Chains A and B, each alone.
Chain A
Amino acid sequence: MANLSVKINRLSLKNPVMTASGTFGYGLEYADFVPLEELGGIIVKGTTLEPRQGNDYPRMAETAQGMLNCVGLQNKGVDYFCEHIYPQIKDIQTNFIVNVSGNSPQTYAECAQRLAKLEKIPAIELNISCPNVKQGGMAFGVTCEGAASVVRAVRKVYPKTLIAKLSPNVTDIASIARTCEDEGADSISLINTLLGMAVDIEHRKPLLSIRTGGLSGPAVKPVALRMVYDVTHAVKIPVIGLGGIMTAEDAIEFLMCGATAIQVGTANFIDPGVTMKIRDGINDWLDRHGCASVDEIIGAID
């Protein structure tokens, strides 16, 4: 049994396997399939200051080895989370991290401030990369100035571990990662979904209600790996890798590219118990290769 524990800033993870925002609800939806306390962490659904209804149906289209979604951050708002969801999850012994979105640096900061008061939420993940909302979201994550404005505003009011989740829909993701690091982010997670499209040729219209959506699943993994590799070589803070991870082998690729931890997203839809298989698979690989600790493979390739 290898030592699987890793650290993201002050955050200790039992193992590097976390679940990606928007794919695992608040964890409770998966409690029949996964012992939640055995996960490295759970990134809960994107949360905003005010409640949001999200986009119209259809919000999803299956694509080759993946899917597009344009959910658009449907959530009941941060106050609902604090009052109704938090009490249900606070005693589960894993790292619950809230994914935060907003339409201005101020709304991100206000949301973060309210979450900072919750004792059992040790970190937040700033979603500056959601492709499915008109205002905010990805608009902040595609320029260094936008990313800086959000991270700076939140850093001022949020003392705990701050993770910035980056969009792949940019020319130079490493420069945006560096900007986030300069503004005080404790960690970078990447990638959010790749902006894409699919067409219903019989009706001559897009399959998604707002035309475009975010692509996830195995189709994006090579892009994600390249970007994780670029970012881990551009910043000193720990990086969390995600994008199309379906198996332990996929996760190990991300770790070798320099990710300290990984998130599993779309794979939860195919196999709701996949996270434990990935954790066990990483352990088996390490045992088989005589590695005492997962640290030995993080950033193993130059």
Chain B
Amino acid sequence: MKKYCQDLTVVSAEHLSDKHTLLKLTRDEALPPMQPGQFVEVRCDGSASTFLRRPISINYFDPERNEMWILVAAVGDGTKSLMNLKAGDKLNCIFPLGNHFTLAQRPDEKLLLVGGGVGIAPLLFAGKCLSKQGVRPSFLLGARSAKDLLELDLFKQLGDVYVTTEDGSLGEKGFVTNHSILKEQSFDRICTCGPKPMMMAVARYASHASIDCEASLENMMACGLGACLCCVEKTTEGNLRVCKDGPVFNINQLLWQI
């Protein structure tokens, strides 16, 4: 799959919360095919103190509108600077990078997509691809508080949505792995993306319930292209590159203590 390094044009920048911005990006020519779980390495030109690019997962790809969406969480100076972008601005991106979630292997496969915080981002795109396959997944989405639960209306168009918040302001109070859905329903496969402790808890649940599970990791990266070997994760096959061999790994590959 050919990769590009180029300026994309910001179609719109929507502030979904005080620390989340949805950037819709386009270019004149058709955007290349991309898969859910893949990511973009973004150059933060608006932040003088930010030297390296920042990896941000693809939130949605809309070939009809020729738009690629990325959901930015303001964490440090680099990502904060991205929140100042406006429609018409340019954003230099290397894309599409990495591997992707395994989509439905049969039409009646019961898939649970578990996201936490900004880690919900690639799951929207995954849900869209699944719906094209005629599969309606369940989404289990967690956040600190109701205001941090993003794009819920879009998720609801693609599947059944279950929600937890740590403060109980929306859905069930607690962490995603506490949600009653996990006791009430059974699933064939789980895909997860979010903070590592959350993904480890999801992996623990999946492992005990003998459910196949994929997790998307976000180790710190430099190149994003598989060259620098900074972002490695210990696996059954040795140290693998999250940027190129991942970011999506089957939990059976990972050496997590779960």
| A71 interface contact, C-beta 8 A | yes
| A121 interface contact, C-beta 8 A | no
* Contact of A57 with B51 in the complex, beta carbons under 8 Å: no
Instruction: Kindly specify which of B120-128, B163-171, B174-182, B217-225 makes contact with the partner chain.
Output: B217-225
Q: Return chain A residues, CB-CB under 8 Å to B223.
A: 23, 29, 268-269, 272
CA distance A67 to B222 in the complex (A): 9
Q: Return chain B residues, CB-CB under 8 Å to A33.
A: 3, 5
When the two chains form the complex, which single residue of B51, B94, B229, B231 contacts A67, counting CB atoms closer than 8 Å? B51
Q: Chain B's interface: helix, strand, loop or mixed, by majority?
A: loop
* Contact of B225 with A272 in the complex, beta carbons under 8 Å: yes
Query: Which residues of chain A (22-78) have a CB below 8 Å from chain B?
Result: 22-25, 29-30, 32-33, 45, 53-54, 56-60, 62-67, 69, 71, 74
CA distance A165 to B225 in the complex (A): 25
* Contact of B52 with A25 in the complex, beta carbons under 8 Å: no
Known: A32-B3, A271-B5, A272-B5. A74 touches B232 (CB 8 A): yes
* Contact of B51 with A71 in the complex, beta carbons under 8 Å: no
Chain B interface size band reads 20 to 34
Q: Chain A's interface: helix, strand, loop or mixed, by majority?
A: loop
| B53 interface contact, C-beta 8 A | yes
When the two chains form the complex, which single residue of B226, B227, B232 contacts A54, counting CB atoms closer than 8 Å? B232
Query: Which residues of chain A (199-231) have a CB below 8 Å from chain B?
Result: 217
Known: A74-B239, A270-B51, A271-B5. A58 touches B227 (CB 8 A): no
* Contact of B227 with A270 in the complex, beta carbons under 8 Å: no
CA distance A64 to B3 in the complex (A): 28
CA distance A272 to B4 in the complex (A): 10
Known: A33-B5, A74-B232, A272-B94. A60 touches B239 (CB 8 A): no
What's the minimum C-beta distance from B236 to chain A, rounded to whole angstroms?
13
| B228 interface contact, C-beta 8 A | yes
Which residue of A has the minimal Cβ distance to B223? Answer: A269
Most chain A CB inside 10 Å of its own CB: which residue of B49, B53, B225, B226? B225
CA distance A261 to B133 in the complex (A): 54
* Contact of A273 with B5 in the complex, beta carbons under 8 Å: yes
CA distance A71 to B221 in the complex (A): 12
Most chain A CB inside 10 Å of its own CB: which residue of B2, B49, B51, B220? B51
Q: Return chain A residues, CB-CB under 8 Å to B52.
A: 62, 67, 269-270
* Contact of A53 with B239 in the complex, beta carbons under 8 Å: yes
For this complex, 29 residue pairs linking A to B, each with C-beta atoms less than 8 Å apart, are A22-B227, A23-B223, A23-B228, A25-B225, A29-B225, A32-B2, A33-B3, A45-B227, A54-B229, A54-B239, A57-B234, A58-B219, A59-B229, A59-B232, A60-B220, A60-B222, A60-B228, A66-B51, A67-B51, A67-B52, A67-B222, A74-B229, A74-B232, A217-B51, A268-B227, A269-B53, A269-B227, A270-B53, A272-B223
Instruction: List the interface of chain A (C-beta within 8 A of B).
Output: 22-25, 29-30, 32-33, 45, 53-54, 56-60, 62-67, 69, 71, 74, 217, 266, 268-273
Instruction: List the interface of chain B (C-beta within 8 A of A).
Output: 2-5, 43, 49-53, 94, 219-234, 238-239, 244
- 10 pairs of A and B residues whose beta carbons are closest in the complex: A25-B227, A60-B230, A32-B3, A269-B223, A29-B227, A269-B222, A29-B225, A59-B230, A71-B229, A29-B226
